[in-house]
Amino acid sequence: MSPQAGWILQKEVVPRLRSAIPRCVHCIGAEDHEELVQDATAIAAKMLHNVELAGKQVTPGNIAYYTIQHCKSGRRSTGSSVVDIMAAGTQLNGNTRLHSLNEVVATDDETGGEIFELQDVFSQDSEDPSQIAARNLDWQTLMARLPAREKAIIVALVEGRTVADVAVAFNLDRSTLQVSKHRLADLILEFMGADILVEVLRLPGWKHDLNTNRERLACRHDRRI
């Protein structure tokens, strides 16, 4: 884009967009009019660039008019898809509808007006699957490196049996079994790291975000009371 076209965009087109878009273009989903103005500016800049390349002459009013029409029809600078579920055109056609995870879906008067949001429907208290998979891989690698006696101790503990069964199976006395248990603990600590207990108890990041939002809304509700 030439400096002249940039000046026209800034001084002639953008003021028209700022004046018309809040009155003519509906926001879709989480959009706001300021965001639409920015997106429309990108569309108008592309139009001006294409006009210059084609060697044509157009007025700033024409650029602003067709940019606004693009925005009204759901076109954005990032694309004009009508099949992408998050695209503005798809939502304008009524094929999809987006909702915020913070949208209130119900209130419980029996518990003092507790608010239930959409995220509460989808959230689970189970552990993050990625953490489970990563830990399983670590345990598989560790188990492959352990001697048979230490493997038997871990299997017994996982199955809910006592290590006394391991002592009987390997014909060990109590002191020897204790030495094996301490050695196993050292091997696990060395392989998994000193912060393994902290990592096991740590909540995944997405769950921290949900808990933070819930606490924020709870504090806001208490302040209103």
Question: By three-state DSSP, how is residue 225 classified?
Answer: coil
Q: What pLDDT does residue 16 have?
A: 93
Cα angle 3-8-10, degrees, rounded to a multiple of 5? 95
Is the pLDDT at 106 greater than 80, yes or no? no
Question: By three-state DSSP, how is residue 121 classified?
Answer: helix
**Over pLDDT 70: what percentage of the chain?**
81
Pick the residue with more confidence: 19 or 204?
Answer: 19
Question: By three-state DSSP, how is residue 189 classified?
Answer: helix
- CATH tag, 129-201: 1.10.10
Closest CA to 147 of 110, 187, 201, 175: 187
> How confident is residue 73, by pLDDT bands cut at 50, 70 and 90?
confident
> How confident is residue 21, by pLDDT bands cut at 50, 70 and 90?
very high
pLDDT digits (tens, 9 = 90+) for 170-187: 888 878 888 888 888 888
Q: For the chain, what are the domain ranges? A: 3-92, 104-126+204-224, 129-201
Whether 181 contacts 153, CB under 8 Å:
yes
Q: Which pTM value belongs to this model? A: 0.46
